[in-house]
Amino acid sequence: MKFNKKGIDIGFATQHLATILLVLAILAVVLFIILVWANPALGESLKRFDFW
């Protein structure tokens, strides 16, 4: 089976981009939770807005 080299590279980059974005999203959520947990005042101000 012959593959177009450019096609393989694009597929490889796309796969890794998705993984990187997933990791960044998880880190962002974790940091957000830590910030809210460590800062009760911020948590209270967020509860005043109807985000949830």
Residues whose CB falls within 8 Å of the CB of residue 36, separated by 6 or more in sequence, listed in order: 42, 43, 46
Residue 41's pLDDT is: 78
Dump pLDDT digits (tens) for 6-47: 665 777 778 888 898 999 999 999 998 888 888 777 767 767
Whole-structure pTM over 0.75, yes or no? Answer: no
* DSSP symbols for 1-52: ----HHHHHHHHHHHHHHHHHHHHHHHHHHHHHHHHHH-HHHHHHHHHTT--
User: Do the Cβ atoms of 24 and 17 come closer than 8 Å?
Assistant: no
